[in-house]
Amino acid sequence: MGHSSLDKIIALQRNPANIRNLCILAHVDHGKTTLADCLVASNGIISSRLAGKLRYLDSREDEQIRGITMKSSAISLHYKNGDQEYLLNLIDSPGHVDFSSEVSTAVRLCDGAIVVVDAVEGVCPQTQVVLRQAWLENIRPVLVINKIDRLITELKLTSQEAYTHLQKMLEQVNAVTGTLFTSKVLEERAEKEKEEEKEGETSTGDQVYDWSAGLEEADDSHLYFSPDQGNVVFASAIDGWGFSIQQFAHIYSQRMGIKAEVLLRTLWGDFYLNAKAKRIMKGAQAKGKKPLFVQLVLDNIWSLYDAVVTRRDKEKVEKVVTSLGVKVMARDSRHSDPKVLLTAICSQWLPVSQAILSMVCEKLPSPLDMAAERVEKLMSVGVQRFDSLPEQTQDLKRAFLQCSSGENAPVIVFVSKMFAVDTKTLPQNRQRPLTQEEIAQRRELARQRHAERMAADQTAAESHKDITHSGNTPQQCQPEGLSIAKIESLTLKDSKPEEEEEQRETFIAFARVYSGVVKKGQRVFVLGPKYDPAQGLSKLSERCNASDCVPEVPHLSCCSMESIYLLMGRELEELEEVPAGNVLGIGGLEECILKSATLSTSPACPPFIPLNFEATPIVRVAIEPKHPSEMPKLVRGMRLLNQADPCAEVLIQETGEHVLVTAGEVHLQRCLDDLRYLFSKIEISASKPIIPFRETVVRPPKVDMVNEEVGKQQKVAIIHQAKEEALQGHSSGTLHVDPTGLVTLTTPNRLATISVRAIPLPQEVTCLLESSSELIRTLEQVNMSLREGKNLDISLGTLEAITGLKAQLESQLQGRKWRNTVERIWAFGPRRYGPNVLLNNVEGYERPSVWQCLSRSNNVGEARAQATILRDFDNSIISGFQLATLSGPMCEEPLMGVCFSIERWDIQSSVPPQNQDSLKEDSMSHQALAESKLEGGSETSARAEGTAAVPSQAKFKPEAASAGCHGPVSGQLIAAMKEACRHAFQAQPQRLMAAMYTCEIMATAEVLGRVYGVLGKREGRVLHEEMKEGTDMFIIKAVLPVAESFGFADEIRKRTSGLASPQLVFSHWEVISSDPYWVPTTEEEYLHFGEKADSANQALKYMNAVRRRKGLYVEEKIVEHAEKQRTLSKNK
C-alpha cells in the first residue's frame, strides 16, 4: 500500500461524518467477493483487469481452491463522491450456512450492509437469514441485484421479460423485509401501549387503537428497496458494470431535456414515453407499451451484449464505442474472448464501483447517525432494563451517539472475533525496502566483516601450523572439543527461539471503536459478558484508570493494546491511533480475550449484548493425534482454534476424548485443516462425525408393524412384560411399577419414597420449549436471583415474553390430563432450560412456581413461610431430574419432550436415632396409598432400630442397617429420583429422535431424477417442489436426517455434474417412528419380518451405533441358531 493512500485514510479516519462501515451480505455464491474485487480495484489495490478473477479478499488457500469465502475480512477504501472524500470500511462475509457466525461478527461492527442477490436465483434461504441479521442488529441495507448478465447470456430473456423478472424479484426481497418490519412495528406499538397503560389509565383511558395504526404511522419507505429510492443497484460484477437509475436519469435529462427529478420518479415503474406528445405517461402495461426502464436502460445493455458477445459485430461495436465516448485498447478489441472487450467497454461506461460506492455514501448512515435505540439494545446487559442501569452507564449512551474522538471521551471498543495471522507477515516483521543510505551502510559492514574473516583465517592457519609443529596431541584436541561444544550451544540457542517463532500465530482482534481514540499501548478494561457495571462501580471509582492498580472485580480484567492495525484485506498496516467510528485490528489481546469482548477505559461501561449466531453447532468429531506423544501440541492447537473461530466449540468429554463441534461438514473440514496446518502442525485423525440423538417416549401405538390394530389384551401383555423386565433388574423391593406406568422407588436408606410417571409432551409443546430455550434460561436466572433474595429490574420485553410463553403453554396443554399443569411446572431440564418438564403433582405440596417472577411481589414472603422439610430437599429432586434428562436409558443421549410427573413424595428427616419418637411426626405422606404407607412405616422402624444397633433387625434388612453410611439423604434422593425417572421412562414406549436438516436444492429438469434418487437413498423426504418462474430450474425443499447427511452435498454435486448444490441447515428433531425394542409378537409380524426382525429396524441400528461408540453394552446376536454350513457340491 502506497504511503499517500495510507496517509489519506488516516486523515479520513478523523471525520466520522464521512465514514461508512459496511459489510457485503448474501446467499452463497451470489457474487459478494467478486463485487468486493471491483470495489478494491477502484482504489488501485489490484489491477482492474484482474477484478472479479482474483477474489482478493479470499486470502486463504482453501478459500481460493473451493471458491467460497470462509472468513469475513475487512478492507479500508477511499472514494470521492462529488466534492466529498469518504472512507469506507468494507467487510466481505461468507455466504455458506456453515459460516453464518462469521456474518454475525461482521454485522455487529457495521452501520450498513450491501445485500447482494443473484438475478437468476433470486431470494434464497441465506438471503432471508442475512436480511434478518441486519434487522436484528438495526443496520440499514441497500440492495445490489447482481449477475444481470446471466439473464442475457444464460436465460436468454428479452429486455422486457428481464424487466418483469426483476420486478418480481424485488417484490420477493421486499416481502422478506416487510414481514420483519411489520412484526417490529406491532411489537413496538404493543410496548408503547403497555407503557402508557402503566403511566396512568386515567388520562388516556378511552383512546382506541386500530390494529394497523402503528403500521400507517411509521414511515417505512426507506425500509423497502426500490430503484427510485436510490437504494438498488443493478450489476454484473464479473463484467464490471453496474448502475442505479440516478445515473441514467442524469444521462437522459441532458440528452432529452426532461427534468432529472421527473425521470428519477418514472424510470422504474409502469411508465412509458409517448414520442408524439413528448411526454411520459402512466400505464405502460395496460397499453402494451415498453416501460421506460426497458426502453432507456435495458435495451442499451441488451444491444451491447448482442453486438459484442453474441454476434461479435465489429462495426456495430465501433459505433457503440464512439457513441458512448469510451476508449478501447487495440489488444482488447482483438482479444479472442469477447468478454474482455465487453468488460473494457462496460467498466468505462457504467463502472460498478462508482454506482455502488456512491449509493453507499448517500444511503448508508455514518457512525454519527447511530440510532439511540440501537445503542440501548447494545448496552442492555442480560435481562435488565436500560433505565435501571447505573447513571454513569446511562451517560455513556451520549458518548456512543456523539462518536467523539475528544481527549476526554471514554474509549469504548467492541471485539467481535479474534483471527490468527502468521507472525512473520505482521508489518513489524515485514521487510521493508532499504533506503540508499542503508544499502551503503550494509555494504560497508559486509566489507569489514569480510576483511576480518580474512585476517582471522590467516592467524588460524599460522597457529595450526605451530601446533602440528610441536606435535602435542592433547593440546590439539582441547580447542577442537571446545569449539564443538560452543557450536552446539550456539545452534541450540539459535534453534530454540526459531522453533517457538515458527509455531507462533499472532491473534488480532477484529474490532470497532465506538467512542474515544484508541492509542497504541493504551491500557483498557476488558469486560466479560457477565460483568455488572453496578458492581464494578461500587468497587472502583468512575475516574479509575485501567493502568492503576485495580482491586479484584468479577469479570473485569485489564489489558494493554500493544499494537493497532488498519485492516487491508490480506495485509495489515500499523497505526499509532484510531479515532471513533472505525473498524480496526488490535494486537496483544490474546491472553485476555477468548472470542469476543467489550473494551473500555470506563468501568461504567456495560458489556455489549452477545452476538446472535444463526448456526447451531451440530457436527461433532473426536480428534486425536496420529502419534500419541504429540497430544500436548493437539491440545494447544485446539485451544487456538477455539479462539480463532466464532462458532467452533472444543470440549474434553468425560471419557477424555477431545471433541470438536462445528456447524457443518464444510466448516468441519476447514477446522481440521486449520488444526493440521496452522495451529497444531501435526498429523491428526478425526473420528467419524458423532451424530446427536434425543430420546423420548410416545403414546402406545394403536396399530402394530403390519398395520393391524393392536388388541386390548395384547397391549396389557406388553405392559406386563415391561413391568416384569423392570422388576427383574431390581432384586430388592425398593422398586415398584404399576400397570399404568407409575414407578415408585424408595431410597436405599428407606428414608424417602418417590412415585414418578413419564408422559409424552404434545409435539407443539416440545417445539415451543425447544425454541424458547433462551427465554427459559433467562427465567431460570431470574428465579435464581429471586431465591437469593436479590431484586432484579427485568425489562418489560422480557416479562412480556415470559407471560407470552406461559399463555402459549396453557393454550397448548389443553384437556383433562393437562389441567392446571402449567402452574405446577417444577423445573425444565436438562441444564434447567431443556425441552423436558418436571411436574409437581404431589398433593398438598406447595412450592413457588417457576413463573414466580410474574407475580413476585406477593409471592416471596408466602413461599418462605412454607419452607418445610420437603422444601429443603426440593433441589435434590430437581438435580435428579436434570441428571435423568441429560442422559436417557436408551443410549445415554439427552431426553426430549418428556414430562415427568411426581405423584407422591414421602420423606423422613434424617435425624439421628435418639429422636426415634419424633420420627413419626417428621414423616410426611402426601398420598394415601395405603399399602405403600404401611410398607414405608415398617421400613422406618426397621431403619431406626437397625441404627440403634439391634442386631436381629439388622440381619433382617441389612441395607437398612447401613443407612448412615449411605451418605446424606439429599445424595440418595438425587440418585433415587434419577433412577425413578429412568424407570418411568422405560415403562412407556420409547423412541429415538433424529436431528433433521432441511435443504433447498436448485436443479434443472434433467438432473431432477438423480437428485430424488440420492434423497431417497438417504432417507430424505421431499416437502415440496416448485418451478422457479422464468427459469428452467426446480426448487426442491426436503428434510434429511443428519445421520445420513455426510457426503450428501458431494454426492449430489457428483451425480448432477455440479449442477445442483444443496445447503443443509439444521431444522428440528423428529421422532423415528420405529420402536428400537420391537420384536415380532403376532404371526403376521413373524411372517413379515422374520424371527429376528433386525433388518428393517433403523432406530435399533442408530441406537446400537451410539451404544457401541460410548462403550455401552450392546445386545446383539450375530448367530442365533447356528447350523453347520454345508457345501452343496456336485459330487454328493
Ligand X SMILES: Nc1nc2c(ncn2[C@@H]2O[C@H](COP(=O)(O)OP(=O)(O)OP(=O)(O)O)[C@@H](O)[C@H]2O)c(=O)[nH]1
Choices 92-100, 162-170, 496-504, 1105-1113; region in contact with ligand X by CB under 6 A: 92-100
Between 153 and 472, name the residue whose CB sits nearer to ligand X: 153
Q: Under the criterion CB under 6 A, does residue 33 sit at the interface with ligand X?
A: yes
CB 95 to ligand X: min, Å: 3
**Grid coordinates belonging to 915:** 429422636
Residue 242 within binding range of ligand X, rule CB under 6 A: no
How many Å apart are CA 838 and CA 831, to the nearest integer?
Answer: 13
CA distance 829 to 777: 10
Q: Which of 8/60 has CB closer to ligand X?
A: 60
| Identity of the amino acid at 1049 | A
Least distance to ligand X, CB of residue 344, Å? 16
- Measured from the CB atom, the residue of 121 and 874 that comes closer to Mg ion is 121
Enumerate residues 112-151 that contact ligand X by CB under 6 A.
Answer: 146-147, 149-150
Residues 61-80 that bind ligand X (CB under 6 A): 67-69
Sheet hosting strand 658-662, strand order edge to edge? 649-652, 658-662, 619-625, 684-686
Q: Provide the phi-psi class of 491: left if phi over 0, else alpha when psi is between -120 and 50, else beta.
A: alpha
CA–CA distance, 336 with 733 (Å, rounded to integer):
90
| Cell numbers representing residue 475 in the block | 593440546
Q: Number of residues in contact with ligand X, rule: CB under 6 A?
A: 22
Pick what 96 binds: ligand X, Mg ion, none; C-beta below 5 to 8 Å, kind-dependent.
ligand X
Give whichever of 51 and 524 is closer to Mg ion, judged by the CB atom: 51
Grid cell 383511558 is found at 205
**Least Å distance between CB 128 and ligand X?**
15
- Whether 1114 contacts 1094, CB under 8 Å: no
Region from 200-208, 209-217, 234-242, 840-848 binding ligand X, contact rule CB under 6 A = 234-242
If the CB atoms of residues 23 and 139 are measured against Mg ion, the closer one turns out to be 23
Relative to beta strand 658-662, strand 684-686 is: unpaired
Q: Specify the long-range contacts of residues 64-68, CB closer than 8 Å, at least 24 apart.
A: 66/666, 67/29, 68/28, 68/29, 68/94, 68/95, 68/96, 68/666
Nearest to 305 by CA among 239, 254, 365: 239
Q: Which is nearer to ligand X, 663 or 899 (CB)?
A: 663
Q: How far is the CB of 569 from ligand X (least distance, A)?
A: 14
237 forms part of the interface with ligand X (CB under 6 A)? yes
**Please, what is the minimum distance in Å from the beta carbon of residue 1056 to Mg ion?**
23
What's the grid cell of residue 255? Answer: 440528452
- Pick the closer one to ligand X by CB: 166 or 883: 166
Burial-class residue 1098 by CB neighbours within 10 Å (0-12, 13-18, 19+): middle
Site membership for ligand X, residue 670 (CB under 6 A):
no
The enclosing H or E element of 20 equals strand 19-26
Nearest-approach distance from CB 346 to ligand X, in angstroms: 11
Q: Name the helix (H) or strand (E) containing 148.
A: helix 148-153
- Report the SS3 class of residue 682: coil
Per-residue mark of binding to ligand X, 2-31 (x: CB under 6 A):
------------------------x-xxxx
Interatomic CA distance for residues 871 and 490, integer angstroms: 71
Q: Which does 308 bind (CB under 5 to 8 A by kind): Mg ion, ligand X, none?
A: none
Residue 604 binds: one of ligand X, Mg ion, none (C-beta under 5 to 8 A by kind)? none
Could you say whether residue 805 binds ligand X (CB under 6 A)? no
State which residue, 26 or 726, has the beta carbon closest to Mg ion. Answer: 26
511-530 binders of ligand X (CB under 6 A): none
- Summary count for the chain: helices (H), strands (E): 40, 34
Minimum Å gap between C-beta 69 and Mg ion is: 3
How many CA atoms lie within 13 Å of 1016's alpha carbon, on the beta-carbon side? Answer: 6
Q: Tell me the three cell numbers of residue 320.
A: 457503440
Respond yes or no on whether the N-terminal peptide bond of residue 390 is cis (omega within 30° of 0): no
Strands (E), 601-686: 619-625, 649-652, 658-662, 684-686
Q: Which does 30 bind (CB under 5 to 8 A by kind): Mg ion, ligand X, none?
A: ligand X
> C-beta of 104: minimal distance to ligand X in Å?
15
Minimum Å gap between C-beta 426 and Mg ion is 25
* Side-chain half-sphere CA neighbours of 402 within 13 A: 16
Cβ-based nearer residue to ligand X, 33 or 1045 = 33
Residue 404 interacts, among ligand X, Mg ion, none and using kind-specific CB cut-offs from 5 to 8 Å, with none
Are the CB atoms for 644 and 673 separated by under 8 Å? no
By CB under 6 A, residue 561 contacts ligand X:
no
C-beta closer to ligand X: residue 92 or 893? 92
| Among ligand X, Mg ion, none, residue 236 binds (CB under 5-8 Å by kind) | ligand X
Contact between 100 and ligand X (CB under 6 A)? no
**At its nearest, how many Å lie between Mg ion and the CB of residue 901?**
52
Q: What gap in Å lies between CA 159 and CA 290, rounded to an integer?
A: 10
Phi, psi of 88 (to 5 degrees): -115, 120
Instruction: Answer with the entry of Mg ion, ligand X, none that 149 interacts with (C-beta below 5 to 8 A by kind).
Output: ligand X
Q: Is the CB of 354 or the CB of 840 nearer to ligand X?
A: 354
Is 34 one of the binding residues for ligand X (CB under 6 A)?
yes
- Stretch of residues binding ligand X (CB under 6 A), selected from 39-47, 232-240, 324-332, 954-962: 232-240
Question: Can you tell me which residue has the cell 458431494?
Answer: 1050
Distance (Å, rounded) from C-alpha 1099 to C-alpha 696? Answer: 12
User: Rule CB under 6 A: is residue 94 a binding residue for ligand X?
Assistant: yes
Dist CA 16 CA 1053 (whole Å):
47
Nearer to Mg ion, 103 or 737 (CB): 103
**Residue 977, helix vs strand vs coil:** helix
Strand partners, 1063: 1000
- Is the distance from CB of 421 to CB of 572 less than 8 angstroms? yes
**For residue 117, what are the β-bridge partners?**
145
Selection from ligand X, Mg ion, none that 150 binds (CB < 5 to 8 A by kind) is ligand X
Closest CB to ligand X among residues 94, 1076: 94
Residue 236 vs 643, nearer CB to ligand X: 236
DSSP labels for 588-648? S-TTT-SS-EEEES-TTPPPPPPPPP-----EEEEEEESSGGGHHHHHHHHHHHHHH-SS-
CA nearest to 91, candidates 121, 119, 117, 111: 111
Nearest distance in Å: CB 1030, ligand X:
16
Chain residues binding Mg ion by CB under 5 A are: 32-33, 69
| Nearest approach, Cβ of residue 364 and ligand X (Å) | 20
Min dist CB 1046 to ligand X, Å, is: 21
Binding site partner of 321, from Mg ion, ligand X, none, Cβ cut-off 5-8 A by kind: none
**Hey, what's the cell of 1007?**
438432473
In angstroms, what is the minimal distance from the CB of 24 to Mg ion? Answer: 8
CA angle, 679 then 680 then 686, to 5°: 110
Rounded to a whole number of angstroms, the minimum distance from the CB of residue 207 to Mg ion is 51
**Taking the complex as a whole, how short is the minimal distance between the CB of residue 237 and ligand X, in angstroms?**
4
Spatial distance between the Cα atoms of 189 and 210, rounded to a whole number of angstroms: 11
Q: With respect to ligand X, which residue has the nearer C-beta, 356 or 850?
A: 356
Considering only 236, 300, 772, 940, the residue that binds ligand X (CB under 6 A) is 236
- Do the strands 84-92 and 19-26 form a parallel or antiparallel pair, or are they unpaired? parallel
Cell numbers standing for residue 959: 441395607
Interacting residues with ligand X between 298 and 327 (CB under 6 A) = none
Give the shortest CB-91-to-ligand X separation in angstroms. Answer: 12
Q: Residues 9, 16, 23, 96: which binds ligand X (CB under 6 A)? A: 96
Q: State the binding partner of 73 from Mg ion, ligand X, none, CB within 5 to 8 A by kind.
A: none
Contact residues: ligand X, CB under 6 A: 26, 28-34, 55, 67-69, 94-96, 146-147, 149-150, 236-238
